[in-house]
Amino acid sequence: MMVSRRGLAAILAAACLATAADAARADDPVWPQRAVRLVAAQQAGSATDRVARILADFLVGLWKQPVVVDNRPGASGAIGTQIAARAEPDGYTLLVGGTSSLVTHPEIAPDVGFDVERDFVAIGRVAYVPFVLAVNARVPAASVAELVALARERPGRVSFATAGAGAFSAFALRAIAQASGAEFLSVEYKGSSTATLDLVAGRVDARVSELDAVLPHAAAGTVRILAVAGQRRSSQIPDVPTLAESGVPGVELTPWYGVLAPAGIDAAVRARLEAAYAAAIQDPTVRSRLEAIGYDPARDAPGEFARAIRQDRLAARAIMRVAGSGATRAR
């Protein structure tokens, strides 16, 4: 096969251009070259949004490029998560998501339109979220054991606020009921603030909630915190035991918020994202801002977040498999 000298030159030039383009994508030292979008799959002012904005403020200074928080609420986080999953895997669209939207809700609604392990690359957790089991101060229970005993005496009458069937609070309630054999009345709320108000007012007896939401009410004496719902005690209330320490094993999920990128991202860009994540979680300002909103800063090594997601999915699946749904009403 004969190739002219001009044709051969054109082929060689095209090959060089392709090689250069690949090198630019993989080894470009100035990535990112434009704005990066952090999709927060909850409304402005939510916990997801606050974590995303703390991270965005740091990344602007690190990358010297705009970092925009894009709030996409709806369907318990599924809408925003789908948007991020379908984005171009170039590192310019990232997701800030939490346990409820990425782990527990998909176990309740498997048709959410994404699979966190298939559709995303896990970069790292930003913060752990201390959740606690709290009761209204008028409930005659000073411990988890006493609350369980009360629920056994009054089957289906001790009310328990949750943020919906796929929320961590609902999973914790299922685990408590499963481990204790007690029957609670699950009252589903559309918003956490309303659930907290009803707990304080005594319109609902108990709730598994973010510590930050109930701590001021505990200090005021209107709410009593019985246990930490997770694998470890909270540094803010170190004297309060975990549920497992209180005789109720099974709540193995410690809620978190983390950063993920669409699957298929270039290895070099992923490495830069992991380096940026490592810099962020070691930054004193980032850590102090997270602690100021009641969160425990995380610090994942590469690959650790992905393993944690797998373990949490298995734990959530186990709870769903063996726990009954119980009585439920909506508020």
Fold classification of 131-253+326-330 (topology level):
D-Maltodextrin-Binding Protein; domain 2 (3.40.190)
How many angstroms separate the CA atoms of 149 and 65, rounded?
Answer: 57
Nearest of 84, 91, 39, 97 to residue 271 by alpha carbon:
91
Helix ranges restricted to H, 86-206? 99, 105-108, 116-119, 144-153, 168-180, 192-201
- Provide φ and ψ at 85, rounded to 5°: -65, -35
Q: Which residue matches tokens 């939490």?
A: 98
pLDDT of residue 21 exceeding 90, the answer is: no
> Which one is predicted more confidently, 251 or 96?
96
Tell me, what's the pLDDT at 231?
Answer: 76
Tell me, what's the pLDDT at 166?
Answer: 66
For the chain, what percentages of helix, strand and coil (3-state, to nearest 5) are there?
A: 45, 20, 35
Mean pLDDT along residues 268-278: 96
Which of 6-15, 93-102, 149-158 is predicted with the least confidence, judged by mean pLDDT? 6-15
How many angstroms separate the CA atoms of 207 and 214, rounded?
Answer: 10
pLDDT-based confidence at residue 226 (cuts at 50, 70, 90): very high
End-to-end CA distance of the chain: 77
Mean pLDDT along residues 182-210: 89
Reported as a single tens digit per residue, the pLDDT across 234-270 is 878 999 999 889 988 766 667 899 999 999 999 999 9
pLDDT of residue 173 exceeding 90, the answer is: no
Beta-carbon contacts of residue 24 (< 8 Å; ≥ 6 apart) = none
pLDDT-based confidence at residue 35 (cuts at 50, 70, 90): very high
pTM tops 0.85: no
Q: Give, in degrees to the nearest 5, the angle at Cα 257 between 251 and 263.
A: 110
Tell me, what's the pLDDT at 4?
Answer: 52
Beta-carbon contacts of residue 68 (< 8 Å; ≥ 6 apart) = 35, 36, 37, 38, 56
Tell me, what's the pLDDT at 134?
Answer: 97
> Which one is predicted more confidently, 84 or 233?
84
Mean pLDDT along residues 30-38: 92
Please give the torsion angle defined by the CA atoms of residues 193, 194, 200 and 204, in that order, rounded to the nearest 10 degrees.
-130
pLDDT of residue 191 exceeding 70, the answer is: no
| Mean confidence (pLDDT) of the chain | 85
How many angstroms separate the CA atoms of 252 and 229, rounded?
Answer: 8
Beta-carbon contacts of residue 85 (< 8 Å; ≥ 6 apart) = 95, 113, 114, 119, 120, 262, 263
Nearest of 81, 52, 90, 98 to residue 253 by alpha carbon:
98
Residues paired with 261 in a beta bridge: 121
> Which one is predicted more confidently, 130 or 62?
62
pLDDT of residue 36 exceeding 90, the answer is: yes
**Residue 213 burial (CB count, 10 A):** 20
| From-to residues of CATH 3.40.190.150 in the chain | 36-128+255-300
pLDDT of residue 8 exceeding 80, the answer is: no
Which of 5-9, 120-124, 283-287, 299-303 is predicted with the least confidence, judged by mean pLDDT? 5-9
> Which one is predicted more confidently, 4 or 235?
235
pLDDT-based confidence at residue 19 (cuts at 50, 70, 90): very low
Q: Which two tokens stand for residue 226?
A: 């019985």
Tell me, what's the pLDDT at 26?
Answer: 41
pLDDT-based confidence at residue 322 (cuts at 50, 70, 90): low
Pair 144, 133: CB distance under 8 Å: yes
Helix ranges restricted to H, the chain? 5-27, 47-63, 78-85, 99, 105-108, 116-119, 144-153, 168-180, 192-201, 211-220, 267-281, 284-292, 304-322
**Looking at beta carbons, which pairs linking 101-104 to residues 24 or more positions away fall under 8 Å?**
101/41, 101/42, 101/48, 101/76, 101/77, 102/77, 102/260, 102/309, 103/253, 103/309, 103/312, 103/313, 103/316, 104/166, 104/167, 104/168, 104/170, 104/171, 104/253, 104/316
Does the domain at residues 36-128+255-300 carry the CATH identifier 3.40.190.150? yes
pLDDT of residue 228 exceeding 70, the answer is: yes
**Helix (H, G, I), strand (E, B), or coil: what is residue 277?**
helix
